[in-house]
């Protein structure tokens, strides 16, 4: 696998061709030094066997799907374990080698991958592009994809964040601009119901200490002028704001290392839930997804 680096003086990012992985992301803290806010793997070869998809592009469908799925009324059997597919199964794009398209002045990099029709049961050959770029204190991810026949597409990046690797993430403060979250069944698959966060442990509408809560849950985002997420580490002062054009966010905290994953994406299990906004892409359409991470220094809470 090959490594590539972007560096604009404010942010430094390191990527791998394998999985189009975001391996490191260095940003300035309140002391003027740089902190790597990504929990990646030190030995690059360990990414090949990593079951936690650290830093990888997830495709062609992020989240959980119940087998079979519907495409224009037709059922397709997809790879599954006990009836569920997670993050596209054994042939997910986070385990594929992506080709370099462009590397522009260490400020923008673009990768591409072509997924054959029938992979893990999905119809349609898909050509996908991922662009990472730096703008001052902003880190951007732009996703695009086209298909040769109707198929479902839902992409995300699976980077794990810890804004201060000397501290547990429970000491950070989190705000999520979401009034609702998705009800999940016992297999963590959305049922189709949206529930209010009010008076629940999922209420992060105001910035508050994250604490010891463990999450693997889907928030339905409110889209306003500000960020949909704020994540703040009080000791080194790093504040991360997330902006996206996606309808929702999976927040996942792994059970055995100190990090948190913010997966901007469309709703999980959408092909099987008619009331959810469609993830179907036709040959005359382009899948477009943009997420930006903006880093600033806060002096206090």
pLDDT single digits (tens) 208-233: 999 999 999 999 999 888 999 999 99
273 Rama sector, left if φ>0, alpha if ψ -120 to 50, beta otherwise: beta
pLDDT band at 165 (very low <50, low <70, confident <90, very high): confident
Domains of the chain by start residue, with CATH: 3-297 (2.70.98.10)
The more confidently predicted of residues 34 and 167 is 34
Token pair for 198: 């009010």
Say which residues have a Cβ less than 8 Å from residue 74's Cβ, sequence separation at least 6.
Answer: none
DSSP secondary structure letters along 75-109 = EE----BTTEEETTGGG-GGGSBPEEEEEETTTEE
Q: Which of 176, 178, 250 is nearest to 221 (CA)?
A: 178
Backbone angles phi, psi at 8, to 5 degrees: -110, 10
C-beta of residue 142 within 8 angstroms of C-beta of residue 148 = no
Could you read off the pLDDT of 258-300 as tens digits, one per residue?
999 999 999 999 999 999 999 999 999 999 999 999 999 986 6
DSSP conformation class of 45? G
Predicted confidence at residue 236, as pLDDT, reads 94
- What sign does the dihedral 152-186-258-168 (CA atoms) show? positive
The distance between the two most distant Cα atoms of the chain, rounded to a whole number of Å, is 57
Sheet holding 190-196, edge to edge: 160-161, 260-265, 248-252, 216-220, 180-184, 190-196
Angle at alpha carbon of residue 91, lines to 59 and 221, rounded to 5°: 20
Distance CA 230, CA 210 (A): 11
Q: What percent of the chain has pLDDT over 90?
A: 95
Could you read off the pLDDT of 100-155 as tens digits, one per residue?
999 998 999 999 999 999 999 999 999 999 999 999 999 999 999 999 999 999 99
């Amino acid at each position: 696998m090959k490594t590539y680096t972007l560096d604009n003086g404010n942010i430094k990012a390191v990527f791998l061709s394998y999985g189009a992985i975001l391996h490191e992301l260095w940003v300035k803290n309140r002391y003027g030094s740089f902190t790597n806010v990504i929990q990646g793997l030190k030995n690059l070869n360990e990414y090949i066997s990593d079951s936690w998809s650290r830093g990888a592009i997830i495709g062609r469908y992020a989240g959980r799907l119940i087998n079979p799925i519907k495409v224009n009324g037709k059922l397709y059997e997809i790879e599954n374990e006990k009836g569920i597919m997670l993050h596209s199964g054994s042939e997910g794009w986070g385990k594929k080698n992506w080709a370099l398209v462009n590397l522009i002045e260490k400020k923008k990099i673009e990768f591409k991958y072509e997924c054959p029709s029938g992979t893990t049961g999905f119809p349609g050959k898909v050509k996908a592009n991922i662009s990472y770029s730096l703008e001052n204190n902003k880190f951007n991810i732009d996703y695009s994809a086209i298909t040769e026949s109707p198929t479902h597409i839902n992409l995300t990046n699976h980077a794990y964040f810890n804004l201060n690797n000397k501290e547990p993430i429970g000491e950070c403060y989190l705000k999520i601009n979401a009034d609702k979250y998705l009800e999940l069944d016992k297999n963590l698959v959305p049922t189709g119901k949206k529930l209010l966060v009010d008076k629940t442990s999922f209420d992060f509408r105001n910035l508050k200490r994250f604490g010891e809560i463990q999450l693997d849950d889907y928030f339905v985002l409110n889209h306003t002028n500000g960020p949909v997420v704020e994540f703040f580490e009080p000791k080194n002062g790093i504040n991360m704001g997330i902006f996206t054009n996606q309808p929702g966010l999976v927040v996942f905290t792994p059970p055995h290392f100190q990090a948190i994953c913010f997966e901007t994406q469309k709703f999980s299990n959408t092909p099987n839930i008619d009331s959810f906004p469609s993830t179907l892409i036709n040959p005359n359409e382009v899948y477009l997804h943009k997420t930006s991470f903006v880093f600033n220094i806060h002096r206090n809470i």
